[in-house]
Amino acid sequence: LKFLVCFSMYISKKVLKHHFDPRKAPRDAYLLCRLQWGETGTPWIHWVKNERYHAEVYFLEKIFKMRRSYNYVNCSITWYLSWSPCADCCCKILNFLRKNSNVNIDIYVARLYYIEDEKIRQGLQNLVSLAEVTIAVMETEGKVSHYIFCLENFIQGSADDDSWTVGFQSEITKNRLKLKDVFEVSRL
């Protein structure tokens, strides 16, 4: 049986560069996660690759339960996804958040998964309608470079290579506009 490959909290530079390049369309989906309980809790990082389960579902059903704090403090989760969630994952995330009102999730995506599919668009719209969810395209520039953050936090060893994102901006802009279109339609 194939299960999720997840042996350490770090991934290789090669995996990050290949699977989070918005110009490519690799089959596998990766989820890089930063989870923090309360405002003063120590952040915990982890990654998941889809195999048998979708990465988002595996995280919520397996990893979150293992890391769960039972003192009901707020939990902030930040996901960096190589692909945006599919319709089924959107539904599972939504149900998870309804059961866990103390959790908020910020989702940053490298590329959009079948964004023209109406079920996926509706799923994303339903997620962002909740105050506990933010969905955006990963950025290379601005106040926060999500790519540099991932390079510095999810790669073991030297993270001195910021040139690997050269050429990403045109795809990022396209994806940002497509996602904006999905969310603006939902607000009409």
What is d(CA 110, CA 137) in angstroms, rounded to the nearest whole number? Answer: 6
Of 39, 51, 56, 171, which residue is the catalytic one? 56
What is d(CA 98, CA 162) in angstroms, rounded to the nearest whole number? Answer: 38
Beta bridge partners of 76: 36, 104
Task: Find the radius of gyration of the CA atoms of the chain.
Answer: 16
DSSP class of residue 130? S
Which amino acid, residue 8? S
Q: How many Å separate Cα 27 from the centre of its chain?
A: 16
- Alpha-carbon separation of residue 82 from 29, 47, 111, 160 (angstroms): 6, 11, 6, 21
48 contacts 4 by C-beta, under 8 angstroms? yes
Q: Active-site residue 56, yes or no?
A: yes
Active site residues: 56
